Chains A and B, each alone.
Chain A
Amino acid sequence: MSKSDRDIHAYDNAMKRIRHHRKFEISRRQMLKGSAAALGATLAAQFVPKEVHAEVSGTIVHFASSGKRLSNSLRAVKPLFDKVFPNVELEVVSKPMTEALTQINTYMRSKSDAFDVVTQDHAQFASLDAMGALTNLDPYLERDSAWYEDYQGDVPENYRHMWNLPKGPAPPGWVAAVAPDGNAMMTFYRKDVFDKLGIKVPTTWDDVIEVAKEIHDPKNERYAYAAAMARNFWSGYQFYGALRSWGGDFFVDERNQDWTPACSTEEGFQSLSTLVELQKYAHPVTANAGEDEVNQVFANGTALFSPLSWGTATLNDPTYSDYHEHWHMELSPKGTTPKSAHRALAGGFGQFMPTWGGNRETAWAWIKFLNSGDREDLGGSPLIADAIVGAGGQLSRVSTLTRWADRKPFFVGLMKAYPVSVVNAPVIPEAYAIMGAVGEEVADAVNDDQSVEDALKACDKRIQRLMEDAGYYS
């Protein structure tokens, strides 16, 4: 028996056992337990394509970072795609998540033709643009206007526009990537604990401190707060998330290219002071944590709350945490000044066609299929999104998030975050270096190694230096 036959057989048997009370739906636990290939095979068995495109052919190679959310969700869709495009040979290749940024930089700097489609983090977007690696997708979107209209109607505008170029005073420009995947920084909280204590999810930073005081119980190994505060880009993101919610930014006016650093402001002071105050209620892991360490202490029940965490389906995974049903997500808090507002740092992964890739038509057919909604007349199917979600993906289409919301509380937070999303960093190639430099100063302040004022001045100084070196002021 071939591997795919085994997968189908195994999954069919599993399906018989795990039919959910809702017709045609698989239980969350079983979805998450199945492998991407087996899940895809099972869904493919149910999938009856409206049209088969035998005229489209060729080989396409799709690069994505490894992991459930990215490469695995692509692999889960592949069996469905194979049914619609039987003459296309699709290969999904991946590199370790931790190395994916440098790897794709290496390939694109070398003008490599190894990949026809690439899934990449938004953090990389400006660098890829600077390399000339991004293809203008407008001609494809204009040709498939009905499909694009459906996509536009389902993916919130400010999230979609993150993937447009050029950045600057005249958006939205042209579309460089489409994004089935979406993410944002949100408030994470243990609903059972909040309900038991009668606490509401805080909506302002002042409330955050009050809530932290109330739920902090270190004697019983239950810490109020955890956040990715490692002394690098992680703490940079924490500060930037807070800064945007107070109405501040790293620069005076990025959109009009006024690159004067603006951390040492009232907004910056409020943001960093709050993070310093919160540290009193922090889980010990916080000072040196990336998101993986934070999620682990959320999963094991020793941390209860975070006002700013990057969204992930992991915490709603029953195999990962005993508290999977209790982790809920909401909009991050805002400041209390007139410029303050709920602003969710948005990230996520977009799909683009590298300038040096080939098989454009076939690659576009695959991108379109992956980003399809539920409408079968446009080549879509709910099973495509189910395959992605079941494999661990998180989507940008609101219709899919809605359909899955009762089974994934994380998606509820995501839906609330998209309409108020802002780009997670300045869209310049230096953004990552700036985030790292700021993060170091922020971490020093949070760990009492320098004052808030000194840290903010140091942030401005380091940003200025990085921008000078990159030639922005000449």
Chain B
Amino acid sequence: MWGMNTKQAINLLAVVVVILWLIPVIWVAINSIKPTNIINAPIPTFYSFTPTVEHYIEIFDRFQFDRAIFNSLVTVGVSTLIVMILALPAAYAVARMGLMRGDTWALVILSLRFMPGVVIVLPYFKMANWLGIHDTQILLIIVYVAFGLPFAVWILRGFLLDLPKEVEEAGRLDGLGWIQIIFRLILPMAAPGIAVTTIFTFVFSWNEYLFALFLTTSKATTMPVALQKTIDIYNVLWGSLSAGAMIQLLPMVIVVFLLQRHIARGLALGAVK
């Protein structure tokens, strides 16, 4: 095609796909620094305007985004940590410890994730009120752990099944117990898989909306809910919405940037290959 070989054509296709993916993000980024009347203009402009930071100021001033960022970081950070601490031994048990009907158990664990959130959010709401923990970070952490754990176990199990058994057997011959095998042998070998699972778990909780909407009111409100508040009655505050979206995107970009080496390896291994 046009004098290109197959590799060049694939590269070109990849560039086109990346641009298509990036256009909405770029659009949002530009909107976040446009004055509102320019955003509302009938013909969009991408450069001929005076940039403004008023939407970034507004998102903190009017929508208490500082509190939402703190809540998101705490609930998502802690829940992801707990999920990973629990998921690794659980996945190891399902994958390696000769559990009777290990595959069935793995499927049962994953099926917990199939349940639509909207089915259980109202019982959670009632229980949280009854326990007096509604609108607390602890409640969201519990829910995110409950929902994130099955998925993390399932993905990690796939990674662990791919690891060579001989290394564990050698460790066992050297007198290591299960815990030592997991933390001294499995953990370093499964690092790419753990990185990918951590990111998936983090992303799920970071973008989660339904539980955060029903189970918080003000003190524990997270970023996705705060962002939705920029949709006003009879008009959408596109500038504030875009500014909030850029802020919400930032930690994900940082995490992916820091772990990109592991992600590339992780995606090539394990359950998601």
Contact = CB atoms under 8 A, between A and B. Distances in A.
A and B: real partners? Answer: yes
A35 B60 CA distance: 10
Contacts of A91: 218
Interface in A259-300: 291-292, 295-297, 299-300
B235 A312 contact: yes
A312 B233 contact: yes
B218 A93 contact: yes
Contact of A93 (B214, B217, B232): B217
A292 B40 contact: no
Interface residues of B, number: 29
12 contacts: A35-B62, A63-B217, A66-B63, A68-B232, A94-B218, A96-B228, A97-B229, A114-B134, A292-B236, A296-B40, A302-B42, A312-B233
Interface stretch (B23-31, B122-130, B164-172): B122-130
Interface of A: 35-38, 63, 65-70, 72, 91, 93-99, 103, 106, 110, 112, 114, 221, 291-292, 295-297, 299-302, 310, 312, 314, 319-322
Contacts of A69: 232-233
A68 B135 CA distance: 23
B225 interface: yes
Interface core residue of B37, B63, B235 (most chain A CB under 10 Å): B235
A363 B268 CA distance: 60
A49 to B, nearest CB: 26
B53 to A, nearest CB: 13
B233 A95 contact: no
A301 B229 contact: no
Contacts of A319: 35-37
Q: Which of B61, B62, B125, B234 has the most CB of A within 10 A?
A: B234
Nearest to B228: A96
A291 B229 contact: no
B138 to A, nearest CB: 17
B233 A67 contact: yes
Interface in B206-264: 213-214, 217-218, 225, 228-229, 231-236
Contacts of B236: 292, 296
Contacts of A302: 42
B225 A96 contact: yes
A67 B229 contact: yes
Interface string B28-54: 000000011100111000000000000
B214 to A, nearest CB: 7
Nearest to A222: B42
Given A38-B61, A98-B228, A312-B235, 7 more contacts: A66-B228, A99-B228, A292-B231, A296-B40, A310-B234, A319-B37, A321-B40
A77 to B, nearest CB: 15
